[in-house]
Amino acid sequence: MSEAADSSKYVLETVGFDARFPNTNQTRNCFQNYTDYFKCIAAKGEDFAPCTQFKKAYNSLCPNEWISRFDEQRENGTFPASLEP
């Protein structure tokens, strides 16, 4: 196969270092970026580009099962954190 055919259209990126979470366990970092994203879009709207940084971070850090559970909890009104800006 040629190199052009092998190259993926997706770019994989890892979240950069966050001084608030210096340890290897990134559970709190995952949760904080998830809540920060929804607080950001609540305050600025979905078209506000800097909010995507939080979304990329939580998609990179959180297992998909957790994201699904967080989404269900938000929809049911049982999410354990306030998402108000």
Give domain status of residue 39, yes or no. Answer: yes
The answer to whether position 46 is within a domain reads: yes
> What is the C-alpha separation between 66 and 72, in angstroms, rounded?
10
Which structural domain range is residue 62 located in?
A: 34-76
- Is-contact 2 47, C-beta < 8 A? no
Confidence of residue 25 (pLDDT cuts 50, 70, 90): confident
Spatial contact of 61 and 15, defined as CB atoms under 8 Å apart: yes
* Identity of residue 61: L
85 domain-assigned: no
Q: Is residue 27 part of a domain?
A: no
Taking only the tens place, the pLDDT of each residue in 43-80 is 999 889 999 999 999 999 999 999 999 999 999 999 99
Residue 24 lies in a domain: no
Cα Rg for the chain, rounded, in angstroms? 15
Q: Residue 17: inside a domain, yes or no?
A: no
Number of structural domains, the chain?
Answer: 1
